[in-house]
Chain A
């Protein structure tokens, strides 16, 4: 479609903003849109190149993030590890997820082979940000998670096969939550329904920017946020204390892979609520030559996957929606 405006000086075609500030711009009397010959040709070509014709179409799995219903298909067939990843905006949650994916498909996960994924296009969409280097290596991987359904979590899926004698398959479901979810969890008391899925977690990863912990002011904020987060997990969500919690020190390349002293205060805050933290340092992305991108990520994932003591949960409350209740109860029947 081609947009034009006959009003002199109006750049609506380029900026979508009407010179006369009319909202929406389509309602302006000078606004025009039309299908050009080029547009029609492009549209016709698109139609011609699909592996489809005028008849009925048959769909495949969509390849995008999974909701509860899609995740259930996986958890019904076999036991699936559910990893909940929490952390504020831009701490590197998506980058870590992408790194898990890259390590798996590039055969860099000791003892495991990549066996498939129902969310390949979704992983690729995230990995694509790491491939846009026209202006040199970026300082971070620019990406922000947007959920299709803002009230339900989204999961990314990887299937791995152990290289041992048993050749056992492991399905792993990673949550991909926007940073706002973690902020909501800390700021609001009424998020327990939104976070119901967390009780199904085999591990919870809490990402904190390691470089912020080395400075007094930002470190204090991080410690305070962690205190609130553990309080919410304990009191509002009544989280099972046997679910392993990993404190992931993201962007550790910026602190030369050293554990900041402030981590001890965070561990104490967790212990006050009965949580025991496992500390991991990672640099999923790196802007320094001293630290390789991906450092610590394999170790973290292998540690999570090696956890054998899966806690048993109580049956999910009856008042939860059926699909969510089913999702939670898979573990009980395991």
Chain B
């Protein structure tokens, strides 16, 4: 039996914990293609965050100082058994990687041929990259404060460091799988939801160029994810419907291999890709 590791990376409130809560809910309620073989002894954290989701609340962020390593024993539709380890860390930890330039042995050892990375970013809340050469900026322009690193810069930096870690631990012949997960995808206008990659091309030129020019050394698909399928905080009608059967909500836009995207109501299809 193989052991797979999925690392979830992203800044604070990027959607990592919501994804994990929804994943657990789907697996427990058996509304997905991945089956739970054994719930294991350390499912308390998963139960806590999924209970918040059932109650119609976003699970919230992983607080500073907290770290959770979830280990799930799962099997695919076709009967392949695998163990999944998903460390969940607060977003600040990943932001700090940009300045600290080091990580622990735990993460270093997680990097193997059986490791897949999911990088989470909110398309409605990210630090924009100021371009003072575009001629349309003036003193009223809403610019990031001096302490904020633009999200695109952070992600490209993470991707470069991840490639470095893979080369160090596995070698140069491996092509790491690193999905860019655009979370809270329901916040994007419906007309733009059909193609998450186009969103990145239009809104994040630095990241988009990096993805295009490094496709030979890193496999970087762009995925649109809505863990809840709507806004539990601002849309009271949606929240009411969600509370009746939370396991039925949520969706993904996954690349279909033909240059387009397919909407998938099974949120674990991201994991199917990760372990394939």
Contact = CB atoms under 8 A, between A and B. Distances in A.
Given A58-B165, A120-B153, A292 B205 contact: no
A52 B206 contact: no
Interface string A41-53: 0001100111111
Interface residues of A, number: 49
Interface in B186-229: 205-206, 208-210, 212-214
Contacts of B80: none
A167 B89 CA distance: 38
Given A60-B165, A115-B213, A106 B205 contact: yes
B164 interface: yes
Contact of B101 (A62, A108, A113): A62
A93 to B, nearest CB: 17
Most chain A CB within 10 A, of B64, B98, B102, B139, is at B102
B138 interface: yes
A120 B159 CA distance: 12
B64 A45 contact: yes
A128 B139 CA distance: 15
Contacts of B206: 105-107, 114
Contacts of A56: 104-105
Interface size range on B against A: 35 or more
A116 B99 contact: no
A49 B96 CA distance: 7
B146 A131 contact: yes
B209 A51 contact: no
Nearest to B136: A292
B156 to A, nearest CB: 7
Interface in B222-268: none
Interface in B90-136: 90, 92-94, 96-108, 129-135
A274 interface: no
B65 interface: yes
B65 A57 contact: no
B78 interface: no
Interface in B49-67: 64-65
Contacts of B64: 45, 48-49
A169 B164 CA distance: 18
Interface in A273-328: 285, 292-294, 297
Interface in B15-47: none
Nearest to A59: B102
Contacts of A133: 139, 141, 143
B101 A105 contact: no
A45 B133 contact: no
Contact of A99 (B133, B141, B161): B133
B144 interface: yes
A51 B94 contact: yes
Contacts of B135: 292-293
Given A49-B65, A51-B100, A63-B101, A292 B133 contact: yes
B139 to A, nearest CB: 4
B156 A115 contact: no
B212 A285 contact: no
A26 interface: no
10 closest residue pairs by CB, A with B = A294-B133, A48-B65, A105-B206, A115-B213, A52-B104, A136-B139, A107-B205, A51-B103, A161-B213, A49-B92
Interface of B: 64-65, 89-90, 92-94, 96-108, 129-135, 137-139, 141, 143-144, 146, 149-150, 152-153, 156-157, 160-161, 164-165, 168, 205-206, 208-210, 212-214
27 contacts: A45-B64, A49-B92, A50-B96, A51-B96, A55-B105, A58-B104, A59-B101, A60-B101, A62-B101, A63-B98, A103-B133, A106-B129, A106-B205, A113-B212, A113-B213, A114-B210, A114-B213, A117-B160, A118-B160, A127-B130, A130-B130, A131-B144, A133-B139, A133-B141, A133-B143, A161-B213, A293-B132
